[in-house]
């Protein structure tokens, strides 16, 4: 699913953080940049999540690498998850859930105009918003409470991220967007 590819920078960041925060930030930036450029070259569309990921990881890489290298892992996670929370919140408030950018190309005009289609995208984007809010809350607790275990922060974030991915993949409204299911059945004319 294209939407899950949009979260590849966040997934790379979450996994590589255990090795090195700087490596995780720069790797996530590189992945975000490649995805944004590849998708733009193919579709001529800049997706909100791709642009947001590229800007977030690019600016944070520069800031943490050159201006404030002493930022803690928890603080960086808080900024990353808070940034994704802002992206999701902004898209919902604007009335264009960021998930629409990924599924619009897969469906016909008729389906795009259907109320269920828009509703499904609002639900899935809201699920991601809640996931980012939960991750940000755990990150804030870890950032401002130095006795909070770093491993618990990372494990909680990965668990919430995994639940959001599973919800997205299994949400009935999104499963109906598979290209094979989108083609209208042909009616058979009776003679």
pLDDT tens for each residue of the chain, 191 residues long: 578 888 999 989 988 988 999 999 999 999 999 999 998 998 888 999 999 999 999 999 999 999 999 998 899 999 999 999 999 999 999 999 999 888 887 788 888 888 888 899 999 999 999 999 999 999 999 999 989 988 898 889 889 988 998 998 888 766 555 443 444 444 444 44
Phi-psi region of 97 (alpha: psi -120 to 50; beta: other; left: phi over 0): beta
Q: Where are the domains of the chain?
A: 2-179
Residue 161: its H or E element: helix 150-170
Q: How far apart are CA 27 and CA 19, in angstroms?
A: 12
Cβ atoms of residues 123 and 54 within 8 Å: no
Closest CA to 179 of 116, 127, 102: 102
């Amino acid at each position: 699913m294209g939407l899950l590819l949009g979260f590849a920078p966040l997934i790379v960041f979450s996994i590589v953080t255990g090795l090195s925060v700087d490596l995780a930030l720069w790797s996530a930036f590189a992945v975000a940049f490649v995805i944004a450029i590849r998708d733009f070259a193919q579709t001529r569309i800049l997706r909100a999540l791709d642009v947001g990921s590229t800007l977030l990881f690019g600016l944070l890489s520069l800031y943490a690498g050159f201006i404030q290298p002493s930022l803690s892992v928890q603080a960086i996670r808080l900024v990353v998850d808070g940034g994704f929370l802002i992206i999701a919140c902004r898209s919902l408030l604007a009335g264009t859930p960021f998930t629409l950018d990924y599924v619009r190309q897969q469906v016909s005009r008729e389906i795009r105009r259907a109320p269920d289609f828009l509703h499904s995208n609002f639900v899935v984007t809201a699920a991601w918003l809640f996931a980012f809010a939960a991750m940000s809350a755990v990150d804030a607790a870890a950032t401002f409470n130095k006795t909070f275990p770093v491993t618990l922060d990372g494990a909680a974030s990965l668990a919430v991220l995994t639940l959001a991915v599973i919800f997205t993949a299994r949400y009935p409204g999104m499963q109906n967007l598979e290209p094979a299911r989108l083609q209208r059945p042909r009616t058979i004319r009776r003679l």
